[in-house]
Amino acid sequence: MGKFHLIGELQTGSIVINAGYRDYDGPHASARMHELSALQFELLTPWTEERHDYITFEMALAYLRVAKPRVLHIAFDETDDWAHDKRYNRVLDAVTYFDNCLRKLWQVISDLSEYRGKTTLVVTSDHGRGGTLADWDSHGTDVQGAEQIWMAIVGPDTPALGQV
């Protein structure tokens, strides 16, 4: 988890970061967050450092409900992890799960008075991928197209411009 603190914090302790296989015992830790912290060690993944997106997402929702942060960043890993494992079927499963998470997140935002009607959701990726059968599972400077990312922005004051 140390790398996420280096990426996400200018000043140590200035933001809450919970990533990888780590218990969450920080500010605003709820009973649900403690339950999820324990559960992540019971749900096995094929990876050594990445937990299931289910834990990451549910932990973020629990934190959102309790802490009411002004900014919340949720990093989903499984589409990338399954692609590196060349498991296209699981990539599709992970994309479907991510889509359902977005729907649920927007519903929770809409249900909470602190966020309803005044929250903008920004969705993007940290990198693109190769676009051929030979490199769909990769990214990096040596993969053509991997520098291309997308972004979707939805909110009460965001004009519907389509693709720009």
Show the domain range for 142: 121-159
Bridge-based pairing state of the strands 121-124 and 151-154: antiparallel
CA of residue 15 relative to chain centroid, distance? 16
Residue 14 is predicted with a pLDDT of 66
User: How is 99-147 classified by DSSP, letter by letter?
Assistant: HHHHHHHHHHHHHSTTTTTS--EEEE-S-----STTTTT--STTSTTTT
Residue 97 is predicted with a pLDDT of 98
Within-domain flag for 164: no
Q: What is the pTM of this model?
A: 0.87
Residue 162 is predicted with a pLDDT of 82
Q: Is the pLDDT of residue 6 over 80?
A: no
Q: What is the mean pLDDT of the chain?
A: 89
Residue 74 is predicted with a pLDDT of 94
HSE-CB at 129 with a 13 A cutoff on CA atoms is: 18
Within-domain flag for 142: yes
Of 98-107, 108-117, 130-139, least confident by mean pLDDT is 130-139
Within-domain flag for 133: yes
Residue 1 is predicted with a pLDDT of 45
Residue 20 is predicted with a pLDDT of 83
Note whether 80 and 136 are same-domain residues: no
| Separation between Cα atoms, residue 91 and residue 17, nearest integer Å | 25
Note whether 111 and 126 are same-domain residues: no
For 135-152, what is each residue's pLDDT tens digit? 889 998 999 988 998 999
Please name the amino acid found at residue 67.
A
Note whether 113 and 129 are same-domain residues: no
Phi, psi of 123 (to 5 degrees): -120, 130
Which residue has tokens 């959701």? 121
Please name the amino acid found at residue 64.
L
Instruction: State the total domains in the chain.
Output: 2
- What pLDDT band is residue 15 in, cutting at 50, 70 and 90? confident
